[in-house]
Amino acid sequence: MNPVPKKSISRFSESLTRRRRSAWLDVWAARGITLVAAGVGLATVLVFLFICVEAWPALVGQVAEEPTNTAIAAGDLDRVPNESLQRFLGLSPSEFASKTREQLRLLAEVRAETLAEERGEEQGQGGASVHPTHWRHLILPYAWKGYETPVYLWQPSGAGPRFNLIPLWWGTFKVTVIALVVGVPLAIAAALYVSQVATVRWRVWLKPVIELIAGVPTVVMGFLALGILAPVFQRVVGVPFLLNGMLAGVAVGVAIVPVVFSLAEDALSAVPRDWVRGALALGATPWEAVCRVVLPAAAPGISAAVLLGAAQALGETMIVMMVSGNAPTLGWSVWDPVRTVPVTLAIELGEAARGGPHYRVLFLMGFLLLVLSVVLQGLARGIRTRQARFRGEAIA
């Protein structure tokens, strides 16, 4: 069967369209479809652009802190616009609307006082006033008021917010690494069995059933980790905290198994059977055949699978939120509670005032998370595409 090249068909049908006067419907359909596709493309760009724009002030270290930081004197209440007053008091529009003028005056006085106190504290330390959203304070430790030594502090609410990102990224890193250490060996072992050992009869069932793990909602995974895994850990290991990073890591590890398994199995199945048979015929043990022949041959596909698994573990929110304890800690122990970046976004975004420093820092973290997972996915896809070109296949 000799397929007609696609290009010539579409050119042919285009010429048909041009010739027929009755085909105006065709023309409009084509225009409509192109328009919708363009709209979808724009919407996709909008997602990335929006996150970037909202994170921009924090990215360049110019979060507008003036609205909350400049005191509005109680006597000036009637002269300032309502919006800036509302922001100064840290109220939501509906709360603001429900307050009387007198209440607002009282609130403004209290707010101005606390603000003056904060100012004095911070200036007493370093001379100039401290901007907690500057990169210096987002990354480096700092001896805040009340601390003897410089500390990494994530403390977004309260009078003087501190936005150090390090504890959150450290927690994310810990959970991701544990998840990979748990999930990848399981997934690859299962993929080896399905691709190399299992007979066709069983393979037909095993592969879809293992992939069905991906169909279990993450909130159910979290529920099971909370209800079953946590008490088991508690009893067996005797951990100091019921909810900890290890628990979250193991649960996320199970959650990434289907992704890694599915792609690794594809890569392993693509290794010609004859190579394995040849190795075995030359006297290799199964282990040698796997370690020296099969795994090296499938290495690009497997590394792509691991990268995708890492991207999924990095962005996993629900499971981690339910079982990690959600305390921003910096210790080395895997049995400490941790707080990860996506979880912080999920918990705190609802409370952050729109356009305020906290909101900006959260979007900054979202932006970094987005970039990181896009890069991981891009690497994985790059490897797969190169592999496909190498084999002379077209990738869908």
- Nearest of 99, 124, 121, 108 to residue 70 by alpha carbon: 108
Give the Cα-Cα-Cα angle 337, 341, 344 (nearest 5 degrees).
75
Of 114-122, 125-133, 217-225, 296-304, the segment contacting another protein by CB under 8 A is: 217-225
- Amino acid (one-letter) located at 107: L
Neighbours of 214 (CB within 10 A): 14
Instruction: Give whichever of 109 and 348 is closer to another protein, judged by the CB atom.
Output: 348
Of 113-121, 162-170, 297-305, 344-352, the segment contacting another protein by CB under 8 A is: 344-352
Contacts of 109 (CB under 8 A, 6+ apart): 74
As given in the structure block, the two tokens for residue 299 are: 């290495």
Please report, as residue ranges, which positions from 187 to 216 form the binding site for another protein (by CB under 8 A): 189-190, 192-194, 196-198, 200, 203-216
Of 57-65, 104-112, 121-129, 316-324, the segment contacting another protein by CB under 8 A is: 316-324
Q: Figure out which of the listed residues 9, 106, 140, 232 binds another protein, where binding follows CB under 8 A.
A: 9
Q: Figure out which of the listed residues 103, 114, 349, 393 binds another protein, where binding follows CB under 8 A.
A: 349
Per-residue mark of binding to another protein, 86-115 (x: CB under 8 A): -------xx--x------------------
Question: CA 371, CA 164: separation in Å to the nearest integer?
Answer: 19
DSSP string, 235-253: HHH--SSSS-HHHHHHHHH
CB of residue 93 to another protein, shortest distance in Å: 6
Instruction: Give whichever of 94 and 157 is closer to another protein, judged by the CB atom.
Output: 94
- Residues touching another protein: how many (CB under 8 A)? 108
CB of residue 26 to another protein, shortest distance in Å: 5
Instruction: Give whichever of 286 and 300 is closer to another protein, judged by the CB atom.
Output: 286
CB of residue 332 to another protein, shortest distance in Å: 26
As given in the structure block, the two tokens for residue 376 are: 């991981």
Contact 114, 90 (CB under 8 A): no
- Nearest of 170, 130, 133 to residue 147 by alpha carbon: 130
Contact 167, 339 (CB under 8 A): yes
Alpha helices in the chain (DSSP H): 6-19, 24-59, 66-69, 82-89, 93-98, 101-126, 135-139, 166-192, 200-211, 218-224, 230-237, 245-269, 273-281, 286-288, 295-315, 318-323, 341-348, 357-391
- Asked if 331 is part of the footprint of another protein (rule: CB under 8 A), the reply reads no
Of 137-145, 244-252, 293-301, 307-315, the segment contacting another protein by CB under 8 A is: 307-315
- Asked if 40 is part of the footprint of another protein (rule: CB under 8 A), the reply reads yes
Please report, as residue ranges, which positions from 353 to 372 form the binding site for another protein (by CB under 8 A): 354, 362-363, 366, 369-370
Question: CA 184, CA 38: separation in Å to the nearest integer?
Answer: 39
Q: Figure out which of the listed residues 107, 108, 310, 314 binds another protein, where binding follows CB under 8 A.
A: 314
Please report, as residue ranges, which positions from 251 to 280 form the binding site for another protein (by CB under 8 A): 254, 257, 261
CB of residue 302 to another protein, shortest distance in Å: 14
Phi-psi region at 238: left, alpha or beta (left = phi > 0; alpha = psi -120 to 50): left
Please report, as residue ranges, which positions from 142 to 181 form the binding site for another protein (by CB under 8 A): none
